């Protein structure tokens, strides 16, 4: 009889709420061992229980030592990593003139540099498993929006990073998938000023379902870019 296949493992950043939490629960349902990473340890533990995830990893992607420790823990506990989901993100919608140095550093540091950092650390494990790198980018990585210069810069940067890495790794078995959701009703919007009709937004579960569908394709097939928006049109 053939040897049983090892259970695949997924790591999701920004896994304590919204799209990350919905995707964690979905991947557990799909048979993955799932680790979620986030900055708030208490929220992360509660989310892990809710999603039935295997491991909660408190870490700030802007902290190189914390990222190193998280990947080392994945390797120690699971011995493999099949999917890395770059989902963690920060955003403030401000005119350029009102965007502070701290605002810029927070968004670029988390959304772009943080994604680069954990991808680099995780890459040997992903290549060994011939797995997938899934980047939850946002339509703000495809189109500029007024009062969003720092956020758009971080998301355009992540798109460029992912597209370049995809070409760099062609033929090595790692699939790089970029997902561009439109406005999605998550806690992200709790701190965004303005009037938003959140009933018209996508649900986090909608985005998670699209991501899971892309990941379920056979290894020789690749959805490179997937755009999903509210059926009623952009807000």
User: Catalytic residue positions?
Assistant: 151
Nearest to 21 by CA among 2, 38, 5, 4: 38
Nearest to 70 by CA among 111, 78, 169: 78
Quick one: DSSP state of residue 232?
Answer: T
Task: State the DSSP H helix or E strand holding residue 78, giving kind and residue range, or none if neither.
Answer: helix 64-78
Residue 222, phi-psi category: left (phi > 0), alpha (psi -120 to 50), beta (remainder): beta
Nearest to 14 by CA among 52, 59, 51, 46: 59
Q: Which two tokens stand for residue 27?
A: 């991947």
Nearest to 158 by CA among 113, 112, 104: 112
Name the β-bridge partners of 163.
none
- The contacts of residue 174 (CB under 8 Å, 6+ apart) are 123, 126, 127, 130, 131, 132, 133
- The contacts of residue 187 (CB under 8 Å, 6+ apart) are 17, 18
* Interatomic CA distance for residues 101 and 99, integer angstroms: 7
């Amino acid at each position: 009889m053939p040897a049983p296949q090892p259970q695949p493992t997924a790591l999701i950043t920004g896994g304590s709420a919204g799209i990350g939490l919905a995707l964690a629960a979905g991947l557990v349902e799909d048979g993955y061992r799932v680790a979620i990473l986030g900055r708030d340890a208490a929220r992360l533990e509660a989310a892990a229980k809710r999603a039935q995830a295997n491991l909660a990893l408190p870490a700030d992607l802007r902290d190189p030592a914390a990222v190193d420790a998280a990947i080392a823990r994945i390797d120690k506990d699971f011995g493999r990593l099949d999917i890395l989901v770059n989902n963690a993100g920060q955003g403030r919608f401000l005119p350029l003139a009102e965007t502070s140095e701290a605002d810029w550093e927070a968004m670029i540091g988390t959304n772009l540099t943080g994604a680069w950092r954990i991808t680099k650390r995780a890459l040997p494990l992903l290549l060994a498993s011939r797995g997938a790198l899934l980047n939850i980018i946002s339509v703000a990585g495809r189109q500029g929006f007024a009062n969003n210069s720092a956020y758009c810069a971080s998301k355009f940067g992540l798109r460029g990073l992912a597209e370049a890495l995809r070409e760099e790794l062609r033929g090595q078995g790692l699939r790089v998938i970029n997902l561009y959701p439109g406005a999605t009703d998550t806690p992200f919007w709790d701190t965004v000023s303005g009037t938003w009709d959140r009933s018209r937004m996508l649900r986090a579960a909608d985005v998670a379902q699209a991501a899971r569908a892309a990941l379920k394709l056979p290894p020789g097939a690749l959805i490179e870019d997937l755009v999903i928006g509210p059926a009623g049109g952009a807000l």
